[in-house]
Structure 1
């Protein structure tokens, strides 16, 4: 899970490299990005495209924030997970335990 407290809901280059390491080991892994200040999309569930995005990230040697080229197959480097069901009736609560000391 990644948090973008003051940005929009997207996968940064650091998020992509983190997700790539999980998705290579566990192909069904998804990335959850929380963006509470994004009025249009406060959260997203994403996957790196395969083979397009995984090929780009496998070859990338850069670190930190940087841009990636687009996959040559025309797909995006990552996509929304269309096979994930979010049940709106389930309660979800996040508690910042740092404030309880």
Structure 2
């Protein structure tokens, strides 16, 4: 029973962070801040989901597989984010700056 509650809370936390990343993608002003929202928040959401699944895993081999999948997703996310930001900067897209009030 307690395991069910902890698993449900972890899945809800993961879903919340995925939703926050999506909102950041839609609301932030430029590609760099959007990338930040996606890479940081979605990786944290994936971490919560993986931990919830690890609590329900039946064997250590499955736990190891989940950790490997999470690590590969982290590496792929960081690499893709770097490539998109590097391409945007190479094409002259400057980071957004807030307007200063006089």
| Greater RCO structure (CA 8 Å; 6+ sep) | 2
TM normalised by structure 1 equals: 0.30
Larger Rg: 2
Higher strand share: 1
- Which structure's residues are more often helix, by fraction? 2
